[in-house]
Amino acid sequence: MVHLIVGNTGSGKTTYAQDLKAKTNAIVFSIDKWNNILFIPDKKATDGLEWFLERIERTEAMIIDLMHQLERTGTDSILDLGLSKFEHREKFRRFSIENGYEFMTHFLDISKEIRYQRVLKRNSEKGDTFQFKVSQADFDFMETWFEKPSETEMKNGIIINS
């Protein structure tokens, strides 16, 4: 089973993914952790969104290879990859369908106000889910970048509102 964890910045995707892992036989792929370890130390001030997107694409190629291995062992994959855009989610739905893997979309539909308070708290406390500081500008950008899943996308999915 492939679990697609969807939600805007501060919605609790990583916490939700960890909770889901505790309830299932699964491995969590958290893109923030991969980026923090593999790429952010090398990022220059002039590197922008395209720099990140290219590295995310390479990381996902590795994750897909690992997902095939996990499916062969009966182990679920939990994708905490942001999945902010319809096309990004569709990539993993198509992947699942083409390979005969079950999938489930989990959408954390949390208000902007609550999410921003969570981001501020995570930035200051630097707890278990902290990977890097999210600035006001980054949060605001994600408000315009994120595409909320449609009713069609969420058919047979799970919507979390708190």
pTM as predicted? 0.84
Report whether 110 contacts 10 (CB < 8 A). Answer: yes
pLDDT at 64: 97
Per the DSSP assignment, residues forming a β-bridge with 103 are 2
AA identity, residue 104: M
pLDDT at 81: 93
pLDDT at 131: 67
In the chain, domain spans: 2-160
pLDDT at 38: 85
Measured torsion, CA atoms of residues 52, 53, 58, 61, in degrees rounded to the nearest 10? 140
Give CA–CA dist 126/145, Å, rounded: 25
pLDDT at 62: 95
CATH classification number, 2-160, choose in 3.20.20.70, 1.10.4080.10, 3.40.50.300, 1.10.3720.10: 3.40.50.300
Which residues, at least 6 apart from 39, have a Cβ–Cβ distance to it below 8 Å? Answer: 52, 55
Give CA–CA dist 67/95, Å, rounded: 10
pLDDT at 5: 98
Low-confidence ranges of the chain (pLDDT < 70): 130-132
pLDDT at 39: 81
pLDDT tens for each residue of 50-70: 888 898 899 999 999 999 999
